[in-house]
């Protein structure tokens, strides 16, 4: 089992266990219900995480006649990398951004925002798409998509716990603790975000490097990252925080938040740029 598959198993097992644990706070029947919900969530997170991400982003499939440059670039990169052609989508967001999702190379999707199509030139867009296809090739997409689905699942658990605390919860054989339930309701989403960050930061560096190698030149991606980071500060994007790690740059960059260093879902763009520009290649492909 490779590293990403192991992470995926741990994430899914953690989600299922958390649901059973919360259910057990409401008695034996609650544990059984939690187990049932856990099976649904775990199965859904694995099989439908890509559909969840695409739907949440309001992405629509595009044909080659509608987005010829997009298809041309992706077809060229996937041919070079001996990869299947992924499904291609465009979201209505004006913030320039992109993400990849899916279980594996044969069940992958790449989505770009309307904003990125307007902001980047073809070379820069090529760099971004190479980065996303590197995620697919490295099987990062399964881990990150499942992590996003798990985070949304943990948020659901926290809400269950919160309502249980408010209404007293607990069966006749249960000594439920409302304070403990409220603590879980507050802390579970934080734990989910920290979990995602641990997965996200290193894989972004790897995808930057591997994407630059796919096209033989790190500079187009570096220029694209500079433009997208600047735009993300100016153009807000409505996105579930649980899905933020999927995007090539943090779509929540413009939001003011406490403990901003703790809740960084991506490595600093400046560090990504420095690493890309330290790479030495021949002439651009």
Catalytic residue among 132, 204, 206, 270: 132
Is 88 within 8 Å of 67 (Cβ atoms)? yes
Tokens of 22: 């919360």
219 labelled catalytic: no
Tell me the catalytic residues. Answer: 132
């Amino acid at each position: 089992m490779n590293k990403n598959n192991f992470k995926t198993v741990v994430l899914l097992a953690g989600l299922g266990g958390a649901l059973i644990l919360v259910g057990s706070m409401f008695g034996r029947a609650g544990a059984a219900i939690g187990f049932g919900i856990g099976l649904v969530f775990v199965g859904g997170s694995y099989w439908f995480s890509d559909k969840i991400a695409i739907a949440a982003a309001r992405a629509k499939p595009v044909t080659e006649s509608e987005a010829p440059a997009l298809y041309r670039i992706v077809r060229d990169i996937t041919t070079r990398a001996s990869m299947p052609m992924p499904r291609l989508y465009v979201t209505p967001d004006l913030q320039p951004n992109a993400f990849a999702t899916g279980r594996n190379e044969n069940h992958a999707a790449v989505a770009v925002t309307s904003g990125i199509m307007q902001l980047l030139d073809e070379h820069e867009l090529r760099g971004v798409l190479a980065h996303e296809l590197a995620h697919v090739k490295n099987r990062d997409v399964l881990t990150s998509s499942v992590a996003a689905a798990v985070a949304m699942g943990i948020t659901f658990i926290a809400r269950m716990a919160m309502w249980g605390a408010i209404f007293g919860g607990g069966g006749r054989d249960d000594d439920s603790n409302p304070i403990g339930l409220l603590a879980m309701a507050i802390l579970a989403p934080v734990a989910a975000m920290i979990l995602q960050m641990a997965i996200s930061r290193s894989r972004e560096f790897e995808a930057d490097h591997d994407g630059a190698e796919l096209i033989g030149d790190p500079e187009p991606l570096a220029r694209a990252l500079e433009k997208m980071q600047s735009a993300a500060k100016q153009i807000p994007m409505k996105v579930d925080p649980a899905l933020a790690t999927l995007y090539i740059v943090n779509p929540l960059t413009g939001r003011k938040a406490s403990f901003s260093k703790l809740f960084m879902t991506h490595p600093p763009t400046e560090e990504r740029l420095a690493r890309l520009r330290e790479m030495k290649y021949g002439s651009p492909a």
